[in-house]
């Protein structure tokens, strides 16, 4: 069990596209998600009527394959493509 946790907390390097939102520092996936939510909330990108939806802006659209809106559950799937 400890091994899975160590992998989970392993710092991952963001792609250039993701770094434009969260910075260039390698971070564990949990911190990446926290920083994404900080950005989303600071820029008022959470949908007002359906809080589970995230509206994208110029920085987020390239991360989410150009979509204008994604669900909070889809976010991790897209972020995986931008972490190594």
Residue 5 covered by a domain: no
Per the structure, the complete domain to which residue 32 belongs is given by: 11-80
Q: pLDDT for 59-79, tens place per residue?
A: 999 999 999 999 999 999 999
**Spatial distance between the Cα atoms of 51 and 46, rounded to a whole number of angstroms:** 6
Contacts of 43 (CB under 8 A, 6+ apart): 57
Residues 24 and 7 sit within 8 Å (Cβ to Cβ): no
Residue 1 covered by a domain: no
Report the predicted TM-score, pTM, of the whole model to 2 decimal places.
0.89
Indicate which CATH number applies to the domain containing 74: 1.10.245.10
Q: pLDDT for 40-57, tens place per residue?
A: 999 999 999 999 999 999
């Amino acid at each position: 069990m400890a091994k899975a946790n160590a992998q989970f907390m392993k710092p991952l390097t963001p792609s250039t596209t993701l770094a434009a939102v969260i910075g260039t520092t390698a971070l564990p996936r949990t911190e990446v998600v926290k920083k994404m939510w900080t950005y989303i909330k600071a820029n008022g990108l959470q949908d007002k009527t359906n809080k589970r939806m995230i509206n994208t802006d110029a920085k987020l659209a390239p991360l989410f394959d150009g979509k204008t809106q994604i669900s909070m559950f889809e976010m991790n799937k897209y972020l995986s493509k931008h972490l190594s």
